[in-house]
Amino acid sequence: MKDPIKGFSKLSKAAKLEWLVTNNFEDADAARSVLTGYWHDDETLQKRHDEFIENTMSNYYMPYGVAPNFQINGKLYTIPMAIEESSVVAAAAKSASFWMERGGFKAEVMGTQKIGHVHFMYTGDASALKDEFDVLEEDLRAATAELTSNMEARGGGITSIKLVDATDRLDDYYQLEVTFETCDSMGANFINSNLEEMAKCLQTFAQNHERLDANALEVVMRILSNYTPNCLVRASVSCKIEELASEGVSAEEFARKFKRAIAIANAEPYRATTHNKGIMNGIDAVIIATGNDFRAVEAACHTHAARSGSYKSLTGCAVENGIFTFWIEIPLALGVVGGLTKLHPLVVKSLEMLGNPDAEELMGIVAVSGLAQNFAALRALVTTGIQKGHMKMHLMNILTQLEATPEEKIHIATYFKDKVPHHREVVNYFCELRGVPVPKVGQ
């Protein structure tokens, strides 16, 4: 059992590292060497990364790849993707080329509204609360005028304030439901600051109004919602069915099976979860590369997938009058200003690579990345299966673990070209090639 440490956050980085390696690892030198091995040589740059979070000890590298040839609304993009999973970038690039030859992707932003709540309990006379709401709204707007003035100058601000009676869901539960336009920022700080100001104003209002009972009012929380159903983007592709012939499968059979694959995801949450996970492979990778909050996007997309009451596919497909159409419609609250966007040098380069899009254009790019990923996954699943594409990377990962030389890698890759590279068989073949004994299972 380890001893707890007090005041860890107040220690210097060096002192934290010493405590960490001496108290949490068997070999402190080895741990220190790995952790410091990922420090950046440029101290200013390292300091910048240190300051993104608290108690930073090292940098966690993630591969940063690119998928070229994405034609979206007639414009060509190279999309940056930060992801550790092999085959995702290759799948994106393959889908991009496939659809570039068939007219490219279309993307359309349906809305950009964000939302947040002051969650409060009121045990007094609710009709008084409702009657007084117009006056309260004026006070709430006045209380937040200073906070919203810059955003208003950019074309955003608070778009609506509603009093919601939620007592049918929870006794005494009410909300101030506030909607916002946050222009090119994701807007979390802006929204939360406004909500905190509104909560104070609500309490003061209750104290100053005779018909309201301030003692019967309790503000519980004031926070944005990451579910943004009205911050929605749609991306789609379409082509004539005959343009779909794929991997030895006729165009008609491909279209039929593809549509069924989505019907299965809509009917079966076990499949929908994996189906949507594949979509998030494409979405998260771009979200991370562009410095956005992938946890927020994940949460919003999964709530959206469950909006009917059961968890379903985020993508849809129609085959009508000889035309195959495939689309995605998802909530994406993204920013191209604020947060990491100007601080992380790779994020700056990602946005530059995309032509410095505004938030709406970025929503389209991210949605397309998710759609492309789902197309690649379903295309493989209804034809050859996904293992064929994964196996080459899988083989290379095994060979890297075995510390194979580049020559050995080429030789072994050639041998396994038309075989499934099961781990044991790769190890056996590698040992035979090197002339070393095969390790026993478990070694």
Which spans of this chain sit near ligand MEV (rule: CB under 6 A)? Answer: 85, 274-275, 277-278, 281, 377, 381, 386
Q: Across the chain, which distance is largest between two alpha carbons, in Å?
A: 91
293 is catalytic: yes
- Nearest to residue 390, comparing CAs of 88, 115, 105, 183? 88
CB atoms closer than 10 angstroms to residue 288? 22
- Cα separation, 88 vs 127, in Å, equals 55
Active-site annotation holder among 50, 197, 293, 360 = 293
Nearer to ligand MEV among residue 52 and residue 270 (C-beta): 270
277 is catalytic: yes
Residue 391 CB, shortest distance to ligand MEV, in Å, is: 13
Active-site annotation holder among 43, 85, 125, 252 = 85
Distances (CA, A) of 361 to 129, 334, 340, 366: 41, 10, 18, 9
390 is catalytic: yes
Nearer to ligand MEV among residue 274 and residue 310 (C-beta): 274
Nearer to ligand MEV among residue 38 and residue 270 (C-beta): 270
Residue 130 CB, shortest distance to ligand MEV, in Å, is: 48
Residue 60 CB, shortest distance to ligand MEV, in Å, is: 20
Residue 62 CB, shortest distance to ligand MEV, in Å, is: 15
- Nearest to residue 110, comparing CAs of 375, 336, 332? 332
When CB distances to ligand MEV are compared, the closest residue is: 278
Nearer to ligand MEV among residue 216 and residue 386 (C-beta): 386
Nearer to ligand MEV among residue 236 and residue 315 (C-beta): 315
Active-site annotation holder among 13, 75, 106, 390 = 390
Is residue 259 within 8 A of residue 323, CB to CB? The reply is no
Q: What angle do CA 212, 216, 220 make, to 5 degrees?
A: 115
296: which 2 tokens?
């927020």
Nearer to ligand MEV among residue 85 and residue 247 (C-beta): 85
Nearer to ligand MEV among residue 265 and residue 332 (C-beta): 265
Active-site annotation holder among 16, 106, 277, 411 = 277
- Cα separation, 359 vs 185, in Å, equals 7
268 is catalytic: no
Q: DSSP labels for 47-115?
A: HHHHTTSSS--------EEEEEEEEETTEEEEEEEE-SSTTHHHHHHHHHHHHHTTT-BEEEE----EE
Residue 277 CB, shortest distance to ligand MEV, in Å, is: 6
Is residue 438 within 8 A of residue 423, CB to CB? The reply is no
Long-range CB pairs of 254-260, under 8 A, 24+ apart, other chains included = 254/379, 254/382, 254/383, 255/319, 255/324, 256/319, 257/382, 258/317, 258/324, 258/326, 258/378, 258/379, 258/382, 259/317, 259/318, 259/319, 260/382
Residue 402, SS3 per DSSP: coil
Residue 423 CB, shortest distance to ligand MEV, in Å, is: 19
Residue 371 CB, shortest distance to ligand MEV, in Å, is: 12
By annotation, the residues acting in catalysis are 85, 277, 293, 390
